[in-house]
Structure 1
């Protein structure tokens, strides 16, 4: 891998190193299955086995280890409440992973390997976890730009409650039945994991019900930073702002409680954001161009690595440069290929590509992942001008959403529907629904129009905005607030 990184330009390498440092260390993942939230300092959750909710705070640690298609996740909690209650918990889950290479999917089955949990109230009443049965099935659809996943949870916990009355020890059994689901996604620009859990708590006094909605999101967003001094070589530049936050909501009904029969408790934790400035574009021919902000964003990110001071925004975008741009925008995992495979590569996949070009690996990866089609058996069509239909198809395929179009035979809402190439119709439909493309004033989509470099930049930035914000909206806010 190092060998091929060295082939990149110094400018691109510096940008990639910056962006790599900003990638979250792990996927967004809800902390265990208790509805808790955490930041870099503190973990917080609500406990419902007592007849009133108890809010615990303290320390939580999560470690994961994968070995031979088995993922081991360990959670440890040391918590306390302001009233002097204490909670300790240690749980180890084991997930058996099955990779379906042909289908591009991964399935997993998770069980609990070991557990230990004890809650000690200020009055010395204790709740000890005596038995824990847990099962979760999940599927991950591994798409080039984004991984989407979904899972279902069924579990049962049995606690032994112990307390004293007139110096006599009383023991009771509490059973907690748990059902739920989780959905999420992960891409280069962020990740969200949303979990919906129902708890049925059966006690000698009656049955309580708790519904929890919790979501963990990590995101990286581009923002423009103005440069105030007038006597300067540049007027502003872009930054990447990385954020992470968790929100949780408990709705509870405890009919046997004398204090709090029902209600809602909300938790929220945010980590301190980080900011990283990117390089400053200095193109001389885009100062008054309508797509200037788009072009500058893409250049700052290294998606365009032009060496010239002239961008030529009204010139035609070429197929190879657009393909490379999409691949760089989502950080296609081109560096994961084994080095010995690369060493045996003696000629390019197509005669109009050059293996010595540092960007060749991006085109090769896009071809291997089915994002783009070659022109014919001999040529990729590297220097062909790309049309809107071709560009949109590459983007929608990278998202893996082309299959969400209606049953074939449908018509789009555009008046020039009959001019949309059959191979691009599903992608055009999906891109329009996602807000990636708009028709002109006459409601024409102009699928066969050659994209200028300025218009291609606009399309790529909209694509980035979708990855940064729209997926988070769909996987968190739409579920938590409008489901």
Structure 2
């Protein structure tokens, strides 16, 4: 159990420092901005007016040492007319901790160092806002599984700016919360942040400035999502050796909506005793990433009902083609299903060398002879509790899998084995034949649409699952991770 917890904690740290292919973090830092592959965009309200800034945000992640990491983010931004410019450097101390359960992890964030300067040109004069005090802490807890992770975040902070070397101050109280989910087939994150702004300026007779003060509030709603689409692109010219190819496309979108209540100002820039309210939404989209898949060719599935499932998984490299026969009606081996499941969940790219050891040293089974990728997958799925051996130190790779065993593996991969209600009814005609250890998983899997019975309404829990049935089931899992998870998150979290 301790090994599983350590593995999940290291996995969490990898998620937070990885690229898009491994559950990217879409909203960098806590400054309230969004970015695409070209620019970073942020709204500031330090002057009492909403000002849109664009530019660069360079993120440099440190290495994890003793459960801690330092991230540095450098911002260079300016308004479209060049009258407002911002320069900011933030160092975030990131600390990883054990969560309350074996499948949980906690991550704490703290601004350990920060500098920021905002210059605002007004005709012949320039106001300079210099950050003098910045406290920000945030904490997130994640529920981790092999297939998907859910995270909730809370944050609190305060910024204090000096105006023109002692001519005034601006204080900004910050509070917010966020939620996110991530899988190999999509991810989404949302944050809701509230800013309470108080500004005070001293009288400056030399520059004909009267004493003034104002306050306002801003509510910002940030979101980022990554979506994966799989399509079959037909070849335009006829007579080619293959009809087309499967293509994987990755789309990224980010949006920022803000609602503000700020003072009105007179012609001289003095705040009035009247407020103005407004809102705006900014949307960014990154250039889609495209990757063509392999070209599968199996002679024995050309008219088979599972042809599309098999070819799709083979094109994506989830099923490896070894010869020109797929043998759809043959029982799938335990090892073949575990490897396909691991590739679908992308556990190898996320888990390799997390503990600083080779896969050979981590392998828990004596009856396996695997290459590096295969050993990484089996080790990761075992440490995550998705797969088990048939006895101590034995995996029995050539043994067939029953439908009940596959249902259990899928639900464990999703981390949903504990989500069953206290009482439920299985609708399959042979429900009494389902082993007690698999009943909860069969219920969850069927509720999600992953597990299905035959046309007569029987589940056949103790029958061996065929290679064709396994391909169909893995495709349903992929579609669930691509579509259902995103839809549920958007409906229940992003638009709450």
TM-score (norm 1): 0.83
Change beyond 3 A, Cα 1:117–1:23: closer
- Work out whether 1:272 is the aligned partner of 2:287: yes
CA deviations 1:436-474 (Å, max 9, x no partner) are 234556665554444322221111012122333333334
CA deviations 1:212-239 (Å, max 9, x no partner) are 2212233443221112333222112212
Deviation at 1:389, TM superposition (A): 2.3
CA deviations 1:316-341 (Å, max 9, x no partner) are 33332212210121122364277976
- Work out whether 1:387 is the aligned partner of 2:385: no
- Work out whether 1:212 is the aligned partner of 2:226: no
CA deviations 1:256-305 (Å, max 9, x no partner) are 56798222211111221121212101111212222211101111122222
In the other structure, the counterpart of 1:153 is 155
In the other structure, the counterpart of 1:122 is 121
Which runs of structure 2 are paired with 1:285-434 in the superposition (5 Å)?
Answer: 285-333=300-348, 335-336=352-353, 349=365, 351=367, 353-354=368-369, 359=374, 362-377=377-392, 380-407=395-422, 409-412=423-426, 414=428, 416-434=430-448
State the alpha-carbon separation in 1 of the partners of residues 262 and 303 from structure 2: 64
User: 1:183 touches 1:475 (CA, 8 Å); kept in 2?
Assistant: no
In the other structure, the counterpart of 2:6 is none
User: 2:26 touches 2:224 (CA, 8 Å); kept in 1?
Assistant: yes
State the alpha-carbon separation in 2 of the partners of residues 444 and 250 from structure 1: 53
User: 2:170 touches 2:199 (CA, 8 Å); kept in 1?
Assistant: yes
User: 2:359 touches 2:376 (CA, 8 Å); kept in 1?
Assistant: no
Aligned length: 453
- Work out whether 1:241 is the aligned partner of 2:249: yes
State the alpha-carbon separation in 1 of the partners of residues 453 and 94 from structure 2: 47
Deviation at 1:424, TM superposition (A): 1.9
In the other structure, the counterpart of 1:32 is 29
In the other structure, the counterpart of 2:210 is none
Structure 2: stretches of 5+ with no match in the other structure: 1-17, 201-212, 266-271
State the alpha-carbon separation in 1 of the partners of residues 73 and 299 from structure 2: 54
State the alpha-carbon separation in 1 of the partners of residues 241 and 428 from structure 2: 45
Change beyond 3 A, Cα 1:386–1:245: same
In the other structure, the counterpart of 1:230 is 238
- Work out whether 1:51 is the aligned partner of 2:48: yes
- Work out whether 1:467 is the aligned partner of 2:467: no
Deviation at 1:410, TM superposition (A): 3.4
Q: Secondary structure at 2:332's aligned position in 1? A: coil
Change beyond 3 A, Cα 1:41–1:454: same
In the other structure, the counterpart of 1:171 is 167
RMSD, matched Cα: 3.2
In the other structure, the counterpart of 2:111 is 112
User: 1:219 touches 1:468 (CA, 8 Å); kept in 2?
Assistant: yes
User: 1:194 touches 1:475 (CA, 8 Å); kept in 2?
Assistant: no
- Work out whether 1:456 is the aligned partner of 2:453: no
User: 1:138 touches 1:149 (CA, 8 Å); kept in 2?
Assistant: yes
